[in-house]
Amino acid sequence: MQPTATVLVYSDNAQTREQVRLAAGRRPAADVPPVRFLECATLPAVLTALDKGGIDVCVLDGETAPAGGMGVCRQIKDEVFNCPPVLLLMGRPQDAWLATWSRAEAAVTLPVEPVGFAQSLAALLRSRLAVKV
**42-57 pLDDT per residue, tens:** 999 999 999 999 999 9
Mean of per-residue pLDDT scores for the chain: 94
Closest alpha carbon to 64 in 10, 102, 121, 15:
10
Ranges under pLDDT 50 in the chain = 1
Distance, in Å, from the CA atom of 96 to the CA atom of 7, rounded to the nearest integer, reads 22
pTM, rounded to two decimals:
0.95
Cα 53 to chain centroid, rounded: 15
Using omega within 30 degrees of 0 as the cis cutoff, is the peptide bond preceding 111 cis?
Answer: yes
Q: Which domains does the chain have, with CATH numbers?
A: 5-132 (3.40.50.2300)
